Amino acid sequence: MHGESYTGPGIWIRIQHRFGPRNMEWFSGAVTTTFGVIVLVGDDLFSQPSWAGFRDFFGTQSLFGTIMLILGMLRLIALLINGAKKKVTPQIRQVAAGFGLVIWFGVCAGFYSSGVISTWAAIYPWLVIAELTNIHRAAHDQGETRNGRAA
């Protein structure tokens, strides 16, 4: 198992090499994480009309913020571990992007259900599209792994 080691300079070379093609996945994990933080520290966001859908579904602002924070951090940790591995495991990235798709579609649905149109409509639908792209890229990488062409 020496070839699977997470130590030495090779780990940083692998992470740096793989970061570029996966930067949108890192971006989505960072946005999910910071979204959770902002919801947790925000002043009574759930009392605002545009957050009515979230209030109805999650009940409390702290529950929703905690879920977003944990899911975002798990994604970033998974990307770090996956990027450090000698052999890529695109299935982890596919699952994470699938969760991201559900998250951002849910955020769109939550804001849409409030009936309040604001800047959310200019931002979050694009994150849904980004996650679809992330799923496609990870599936493509899985095909390369299966056919022996991945690093």
Domain segments of the chain as ranges:
2-146
pTM, two decimals, is: 0.78
Average pLDDT of the residues of the chain? 84
pLDDT at 79: 84
Distance from chain centroid for Cα 111: 19
Between 93 and 4, where is the model more confident? 93
Cα gap 127→48, rounded to integer Å:
23
Task: Count how many Cα atoms sit within 13 Å of the Cα of residue 29 in the half-sphere of its side chain.
Answer: 20
Is the pLDDT reported for residue 128 higher than 70?
Answer: yes
Q: Please tell me the least confidently modeled range out of 30-34, 89-93, 108-112, 145-149.
A: 145-149
Q: Please, which pLDDT band fits residue 137 given cuts at 50, 70 and 90?
A: confident
pLDDT at 1: 44
The residue type of 51 is W
15 exposure class (CB count in 10 Å sphere: 0-12, 13-18, 19+)? middle
Is the pLDDT reported for residue 5 higher than 60?
Answer: no
Q: What percent of the chain is modeled with pLDDT above 90? A: 58
Return the SS3 of 89. coil
Distance from chain centroid for Cα 5: 26
Q: What is the CA radius of gyration of the chain?
A: 18
The residue type of 67 is I
Cα gap 117→123, rounded to integer Å:
12
Is the pLDDT reported for residue 56 higher than 50?
Answer: yes
Tokens, residue 125: 């639908």
Other beta carbons within 10 angstroms of residue 5's beta carbon come to 12
pLDDT at 7: 54
Q: What percent of the chain is modeled with pLDDT above 70? A: 75
Tell me the per-residue pLDDT of 60-99, one tens digit each, with 9 for 90 and over: 999 999 999 999 999 999 888 777 666 667 788 889 999 9
Cα gap 101→138, rounded to integer Å:
13
- Residue spans of beta strands (DSSP E) within 76-117: none
CB 50 within 8 A of CB 118: yes
